[in-house]
Amino acid sequence: MTADHEPQALREQSKPYAPPPETQRLIDELYREELREARAMAPEQKILAGQQLFEGACRMTLAGIRNQNPGASEDQCLEILRRRLELQRRLEASS
């Protein structure tokens, strides 16, 4: 279907979400607090925090893989994760 034949509703884009001002102020303050804490960390703490973030992201990704592949074994899910990580490495290396 060409753009000329698409219903108007398909061409309209919703406005991006903007939280209420009070909520945005809270979000901004929490972000500034996180920045202050990160800047105060020793380099060793930053490395450990990075590792923890990576491991948490892998756990969440594995949960998604399990959900997408309900019949897959744990080894199969881990292999899918490995392939995704390798793809990410290749994409980063090529950019």
Q: Where are the domains of the chain?
A: 19-94
The pLDDT score that the predictor gives to residue 15 is 86
Residue-level pLDDT at 52: 97
Q: How confident is the model at residue 9 (pLDDT cuts 50, 70, 90)?
A: low
Distances (CA, A) of 27 to 21, 34, 50, 61, 92: 10, 11, 22, 25, 30
This prediction's pTM? 0.65
Indicate if the pLDDT at residue 11 is higher than 80: no
Residue 2's SS3 state is coil
Query: What tokens appear for 90 in the block?
Result: 């290749």
Q: How far is residue 16's CA from residue 13's CA, in Å, rounded to a whole number?
A: 9
- Tell me the pLDDT band of 25, cut-offs 50, 70 and 90: very high
